Structure 1
Amino acid sequence: MKKLVVTFRKCSNVYDVLNMHLSLMTFLGELFIVGNHRTGSLHVSSKGLGLFVLQLLSLILLAIGGQLAHSLLEETNATYLHYGMSLLITSTGAYAVVVTICNARAGKIIWHILECFDEFDRKMDRLSAPVDHRAQKLTLYHASTVAMLGCVSSNAAFFFAIVLTYSNVILQAIVFVEVSLFVVVVFSSLAQIVMLSFLAYGRFRHLRRFFDIHFLPWQPASSLLRELNKVNLYQRRTHSALFHSVLQMFDDLHRALKLINKVYLVQLVLISSALLPSPTFALYATYRSFVTENYELRYMIATIAVSSLLYLFSFFVLIFISTGISYEVDRLVRQFHMFTNMYHVEFRRFVEESAVCIKTHFLPLHMGPIELNWKLAFSMLGWMVSYLVILIQFDASDVGLPELQSQCNSTD
């Protein structure tokens, strides 16, 4: 831990933060294909591969053995909530196995995505408009610190909750290892997706500003200065080679987004579906704590509620970044059309064809199987409320059944 803190303090730019994340992924067994940033060659790391195999075998054994341990070592007075808890923990183990395999598959593609970003930066350097990574470095640095503290705090909270919930030592150990591995795996997936999407967002924003400065006329906010537009109008005319460079850089970023969408498709589906049971179960347990005086699972449920809210918050951050990318691309497309309609120069047809091409390429720019926007977020909240209502109705009918039977027996 001390070495990790020292590494954090040594981060001077955004690439140091990226290297720290890549080293952490290798340590966790999520990345066993290592790339050389100078030569661009890829090779398999024996240490990373061994950690990946160890983690995968541990998750498979815990997913199978955890279900057997719950069935054999469960308390005699276990309720359907205890059974639901065991099914939830076992399903998280199965989710973790699939996400781990998908993360390992994404290891090779990560280097291609970073190569697209590097190619964009090199082209910007040749145009004397280097990308300023200072804001990105600070944002990633602080976000990484908060995320790692949240991961450690979640594991610590789960440890105390599991000790207070389960009396059997073997069951405590199995449940804690399984839950902690699931927390680490999901944290790693979300960190990868958010980090790569944030890097893409910063470069789209830089490209849009670059095009605005070099191709569009100055548009001052003051009404008096707007008269200078006629003078400034012809100063922004530029040659077609620079415009072609902008199209190439847009294509680099577009290719990076397509790779992100391809690699993390399964992880997004699994994480979005896995987020549904935990908050629903936590809300239901909150309801049970009001109607039941002696509630044994309140500590475990409170921990699940907090951790699931952290995951949900990370998911909303991803939605914000995806929305920001769509916003920047849409503004860039509008600027292309504005440039096309404004100038009657020799490469007008070339500009029009390029703008139409970018407009058509804008359609598949999304993250996940469906457009990752606020509709998905609100639909998730709607599903949670629906499940909560069903569980409360089921609980009310189950609670009222003994009273109805006692009334029937008394009348007989």
Structure 2
Amino acid sequence: MSAPGFSRRRFAAAVGGALFAAAVTPTLASAAPTAKKPATSPVATADDPYTTAFLTQYNKIKDSANGYFSDEGIPYHCVETLIVEAPDHGHQTTSEAFSYWFWLEATYGRVTGNWTPFNNAWATAEKYIIPTHTDQPSNSSYNASSPATYIPEWPEVNKYPSALDSSVSSGQDPIASELNSAYGTPDIYGMHWLMDVDNIYGYGNTPGTGAENGPTASGPSYINSYQRGAQESVWETIPQPTTDLFKYGGPNGYLDLFVKDSSYSQQWKYTNAPDADARAVQAAYWAYRWASAQGNASAVSASVAKAAKMGDYLRYSLFDKYFKKIGNCTDPKSCAAGTGRDSEHYLLAWYYAWGGAENGGGWAWRIGDGTAQQGYQNPLAAWALANVPSLTPKSPTAKSDWTTSLQRQLEFYQW
């Protein structure tokens, strides 16, 4: 899968080395005086040692012999066979890997003036890791007044499956309607966090098909894993297809391992890692800034607009899991249901998720999350979504949400 010397390097780590080389390009006041470059030239000069170091690392990463990308052009999370991370083997990829790829290509555009690879990265994401309508067919059945049925969470995996509890009221989703109006679709535009790039598990949950095509399917397959509380480790997760048609697992597919119900329906479900989508916005901001400095903002305008759209939907991570009112309440069952913005904590939470009935019928759900950590916060992305016109999402309340989120994230860091 990879050439000697590169078999133990994670994609993000490899990209990090390249980005470091480019990030310290001496174009600040401390650099030696040079003649002023015309506005249409690349920001970095091709003959300085930092640019050379970046391009050397970039070419290693993009060399097909080194195994960082699949035949479809999807970046592997890492190239080793067995790992102890959120993914458990190197044939998987994550939205994290995609976000670092965006950043890599933004930096490449900065030092070369060629923005085609950056745009190609976004096109690849839309084809594979951002679910299409076929992959999430029943969003039109979503009821924003009743976003999801409550399911208790437990600290240990032996407490699962966890029973649905319809007696607990969820709050109202205040952004669904405006997202639908802004983009003319009820579908979610966000990256699913985990993918089996080479269909090693054999589900064949192929992007763009909404089906389980089995072990003979080539190319990527949507999967999920973590679903049983905070204590669940990579060795305890149960990899499963995101579209569960009961073809694999037990009589109810994999659903009855996690949720206790009186009956089960074939369904699809996706989970978003907000830090990755925020990093994608961050990369798009730098691409826009660097392309603009080259007098070539139009070269990235379409991809930047995609990042702004992603930032619009990323707001689901700013809300409580069941849209409960934020406040001094420790029991989710008794916490008051929220309306408007009183269920919004404004921090980038651990995830947001969405799902629904297969074949487009009957029901759909969405949840945010009430758990946030410092490592997921991205004040730069929040600032860009609130202040850079080309990255301002279409929804009427998005700008104010991200303005407040920026302040809340900074408060969180200080706390």
Give TM class, smaller chain. Answer: 0.3 to 0.5
Query: Would you tell me which structure has more strand in proportion to its own residues?
Result: 2
TM-score by length of 1: 0.33
Larger radius of gyration: 1
TM-score by length of 2: 0.33
